[in-house]
Amino acid sequence: MRAVLCDMDGTLVDSEKLWDVAMVALYDRLGGVLTPQVRAATVGGCAEDTMRIVYDDLGLPLDPADMADSARWLHEYTGELFDAGLPWCDGARELLDELAGAGMPTALVTNTPRMLAERALGSIGRHYFAAVVCGDEVPSGKPAPDPYLRAAALLDTDPRWCLAVEDSPTGAAAAEAAGCAVLVVPNALPVPAGVRRHQVASLTGLGLSDLHDICAALAIREGACLPADTP
């Protein structure tokens, strides 16, 4: 393992509940009622996919300008919620502290747009991350592999030597498609098992040595051959 690539919402900070509030408010604004099924379909998704799901659900024309306006409104509303403070997911801050202390290259990889991620970083701490990749900075957001491929490139590391930390099916699929091993910490939704996935109930008690062991075990499970100098 040469680098750790962390998702944000639901993985490091328990912000999915704030997104729940913002999505309900968006539906109120658009004259509809958010169902649990639609909310589940949007968890971990990029802005474009989320707006497409919302507008399809409400039977609204898929007008790009209207959808972009709704996305901006949603992100600004969510940003105000973020500014009030973001609760850490169990064990996340302690793990980031250990990674930073050990000098392990770590990137934040999120579908959240840059302007909103910057507001979140004020609460989380920018110093933890050598790189930050946001959903509006890549050709396609998660579940496409683009965000994870970009993060690995920014850290000058092969994605096959990276461990991604994710909480959602969308994020796990993106990391896996990029070639990363994936540590899955389910939050709002269950995440299917996979050869390149290791699931835990929370990050509590996990340290750098545990991440090395998980990454190595996933490589063995897949039958991958790691370079001789891989820690």
Model confidence pLDDT, tens digit, residues 6-16: 999 999 998 88
Quick one: which H or E segment has residue 176? helix 169-178
> Band of the pLDDT at 220, cuts 50, 70, 90?
confident
Start-end ranges of CATH 3.40.50.1000 in the chain? 3-14+87-222
Q: How many CB atoms lie within 10 A of CB 46?
A: 27
The predicted model scores a pTM of 0.82
Tokens at 38, concatenated = 């639609």
pLDDT of residue 72: 92
Specify the CATH class of 3-14+87-222 in words: alpha beta
Tokens at 64, concatenated = 């790009």
CATH for 16-84 is 1.10.150
Q: How far apart are CA 229 and CA 225, in angstroms?
A: 12
Q: How far apart are CA 202 and CA 171, in angstroms?
A: 16
Q: How many CB atoms lie within 10 A of CB 13?
A: 20
Taking only the tens place, the pLDDT of each residue in 127-145 is: 999 999 999 999 999 999 9
15 vs 59, 86, 164, 216, CA distance in Å? 28, 6, 19, 30
> Band of the pLDDT at 189, cuts 50, 70, 90?
confident
